[in-house]
Structure formats: C-alpha cells, structure tokens
A = this chain, B = another copy of it.
Amino acid sequence: MNPLTSPLLTDLYQLTMLQAYFAHGMRETAVFEFFVRTLPSRRNFMLAAGLEQALDFLEQLRFDQDELAWLEQSGLFRKDFVEHLRGLRFTGDVCAMPEGTLVFPQEPILRVVAPIPQAQLIESRLINLVHFETTVASKAARSVLVAPGKLLVDFGLRRAHGAEAGLLAARASYIAGFSGTATVLAAPLFRVPLFGTMAHSFVQAHDDEAAAFLDFAKVFPGNTVFLIDTYDTESAARKIVALAPQLQQAGIAIKGVRLDSGDLATHARNVRRILDDAGLTRTTIFASGNLDEYRVRELLAAGAPIDGFGIGTSLVTASDAPFLDAVYKLQEYAGKPRRKRSPGKATWPGRKRVYRHYRDDGLLDHDVITLEDDRQPGMALLQPVMRGGRRLQASPGLDEVRAHAKRELATLPRHLRELDSSAAPYRVEIAPVLRDLAAKLDQQSASGQHDSSAAALFV
C-alpha cells in the first residue's frame, strides 16, 4: 500500500459514511467546495497551489487487491460493500482556480460535483494536498515580494514534515517565484531548478579549510560556491582571496560564497569588502541559516550586500502559520442546496462562482462570490478542469504556472503586499442572491425539520 496513492489514506469516517450511503442507496449528485474560512493573522492573501496533485489523485483513485483484502479482514465493513469498492472510480466533474491564482477567504478554490460516495471519499486527501501546497505557496510569495531580484532557494527538505512535504514544498515555492530548490527529486519530477554545493561536514572532513575549497573547486569548476562560516567567516574569505589566482589560472571562477551563521549583515559587508578589494567583484554572497521573510526584509533594509537567500524550515513548515483553516464542504445534494449552521463554521450554500474586479491601474479592487447561475461582470476565477473523472486539458507546465503567479502577485495593491496583517483586508463580497439563499434555508429549517420521532428505524 503506497501512502502517496492509497485510497486508505483517508479518515475512517469517510469509509463508514460510504458504507451507510451504499446500504441506503444514496448516490445522488453531491457538490462539495474547498475553501479557506479565514486567513491566519499574518497573511493578506493566499496563492492557490496543489491542483495538479489533486487531479492526479482523482484520476488514479482505486482500491487495489491488498487494500480490499485488508478492508474485508478488518471486520469493520460488510463484504458486499468492500466488493462494491472494487469498482469505485472517480467519475465526477471539477472546477478550480488555476494554480498560482490569488485567493481570499470563503472563495471556493475547487469544486467537486460527483455521486456522493465518490465526492465524500476523496475529502481527506484532497484537502491534504491542496491545503499544504497552498500554505507553502502563500508563505513563499511573501519572501518573493520582499526580495525582488534576489535569488531565493528552498532549503527546507530536512525539516519538512516528511517526504511528500519536502518535495511539494519545492514545487509550491517555485510556483510562488522562488528560483529553485536544493531538493534533488524536484528536478526529475517537476523540473524545478537545483541549487547547492557544500555543507559544513565537507569542510570539517578536511584537515584544512582551504584544502576543502580546492578539492571542491577541482571537481566542480563551474559551480564553486564556498561555505565560509565553519570556523571564522572573514578569515575563510581571506583564504578564498589567497586561492583566487591559482583558481583563475585553472579557469575556475569563484561563483559565490555562502554565509550560514552569525550576524549576517555584518559578515556580508566584511566579506564583500574582502572580495572586492581582491577584485572578486563578481563573486556573489549567498546567505542562509534560520531565515524567513521577516529576516530577509531586515537584512535588505540594513543594506546588507547579499545576492541570494536559502530559506528552509520557516518556508516548508510555514512556521508562523503552519496551517490554513481549509475545509471541503457539502453545498448541495440531490439538487438541493445545503447549509451547515454550526456556530462559527456556517457555510454559504449552493454552487458558487467568484468574480474578480480590477482597478483602472490593473491592481485588485474586490471579489464577488455568488451562485453559479448569477452571471456577473468581472473575471470568473473558477475554470472547468475535469469532466467525468478525466482532465479536460493537459496540465500547464510549471513555468507557465509560475508566470501566472508572477502576474497575479503584480496585481496586489501595496497594503496587501506587506508582511504584517493589513488593517484593510481585501474586500470579498457575498452577492445578494447568495445571502438570500442562505436566509431561505435557515428559515425553512426553523419552520421545522421533520418530526424525527416519526421516522421508522428498520423500514
């Protein structure tokens, strides 16, 4: 059972509900929407990501022999239900915001229309995928906004939450505008550009720091970025200056140095001076070590001569907001709009659209959420992407998604580009028809649900 594709990577209640739907012949069309209820306190926008993996999951959904055998011997399910699962495939329709689109609370990022057992079963993994990539892309975009023109590299694999998180964080941050990642597997799987040269252990494994630099340069004459903080940053920079003539003679340009500890702004200034004084003006300075977008902003504001940043843990764990209030809710069943009314968690019922309005200067003005059949002006954000369980078109390449994200980020007005929460959050209007529908459903419900005591148990 492969955790990345197994339909058993779901919550138990999805399967118990499925058995109940099966037992009672409930298989009418359900409409579920994925959206984020509210923004974390330090976010002004989100960047949608993860659709590609979600569609892969839907297309490949099936129970294999081992999984069916386990379900049967688990004693939790009936044999006829397990047999029924053998033939289960996802045959529904999906509309979604393209990856890289700016998105705000309450806006459906993705809508699934399918027979209720299918639409129900996929909930846990669908959220798991889209929530995570959207969380990381939204986090990554903040570094991109504060460091225009800088090289930004994802260094987070080691402290990402497992293998898939490390891999998908590389993808999501690249979408948001990072230059690339250190995570090798992201290159063959997603064509994300790779960065990286040496760790402290490489320097330490040599008796002499300069010998470590030379050893590396000989093997990677075209990719010589030296890590210079293992013992003493400035003295390592002077060693590099001393090595420069023979490296140059051998045709090796010293592409860059990396600082990974200490007072990065001061070290960067000192090292820049040491390099420049020796004529190494084209050798770049790359910084890493517990960085996040706040620290990057601070370093740049202090005028630190740093050309690029490796951002790891804070990026891949989205450490200041490691989750979004993302949910996937039933909005319609068997043709009737549905509304959950739990306090603080009430939903807007029905199939919805989101329309975006721009100011004359091309920046964002506001969005409107309305019902699907309430055609409005503005740009419609949800696009059909899957019909009958099959993609409607080939997926855009990752560079195309990244270019879209770049255009999207360029439409953010200044107050939404700030790292701190804006006093004026982006305006998302709920259209009158949608408010009316919600009120109507609440009223119907207040005027009386069926008398439950009259319901017969075993009919």
Q: Which residue of the partner chain, among B15, B116, B201, contacts A184 with CB atoms under 8 Å?
A: B15
The answer to whether A163 and B217 have CB atoms under 8 Å apart is no
B-side contacts of A9, CB under 8 Å: 157, 163, 166-167, 183-185
For A215, list chain B residues within 8 Å (CB). Answer: 20, 23-24
Q: Is A260 an interface residue (CB 8 A)?
A: yes
> Which residues of the other chain, B, contact A201 by a CB distance below 8 angstroms?
17, 30, 32, 116, 120, 123, 329-330
Instruction: Find out whether the CB atom of A162 lies under 8 angstroms from the CB atom of B165.
Output: yes
A94-102, A335-343, A351-359, A373-381: which lies at the interface: A335-343
Interface presence of A208 (CB below 8 A) = yes
User: In the assembled complex, which residues on chain B have CB atoms less than 8 Å from the CB atom of A431?
Assistant: none
Give A197-211 as 1s and 0s: 1 = Cβ < 8 Å from B's Cβ atoms. Answer: 111111011011111
Tell me the A140-175 residues at the B interface (CB within 8 Å): 155, 157-168
Q: Is the CB of A338 within 8 A of B131?
A: no
Contacts of A127 in B (CB 8 A): 158-159
Contact A128 B167 (CB under 8 A): no
Q: Which residue of chain B is the closest to A13 with respect to CB atoms? A: B196
Report the separation of the CA atoms of residues A243 and B455 in the bound assembly, to the nearest whole angstrom. Answer: 9
Identical chains in the assembly: 2
Asked whether any CB of chain B lies closer than 8 Å to the CB of A301, the reply is: no
- Asked if A344 CB lies within 8 Å of chain B CBs, one says yes
Q: Does A294 sit within 8 A of B, measured CB to CB? A: no
Contacting residues, chain B, for A231 (C-beta < 8 A): 340-342, 445, 449
Annotate A228-246 by CB proximity to B: 1 below 8 A, 0 otherwise.
0111100000010011001
Interface residues of A in 5-32 (CB under 8 A from B): 6, 8-17, 19-21, 23-24, 26, 30, 32
Task: Tell me which of A316-324, A394-402, A407-415 binds B.
Answer: A316-324
Measured in the bound complex, the distance between the Cα atoms of B104 and A120 in whole Å is 43
**Which of A83-91, A218-226, A383-391, A418-426 lies at the interface with chain B?**
A218-226
Which residues on B sit within 8 Å (CB–CB) of A329? 200-201
Q: Select from chain B the residue with minimum beta-carbon distance to A12.
A: B196
Given A11-B183, A13-B197, A344-B261, decide whether A163 and B161 contact each other with a Cβ distance below 8 A.
no
Q: Is the CB of B164 within 8 A of A162?
A: yes
23 contacts between A and B (CB under 8 A): A1-B189, A9-B184, A9-B185, A11-B157, A17-B198, A20-B216, A20-B219, A24-B215, A32-B201, A76-B194, A128-B160, A131-B158, A135-B161, A160-B161, A161-B162, A162-B168, A163-B164, A200-B340, A204-B339, A208-B450, A210-B449, A211-B455, A231-B445
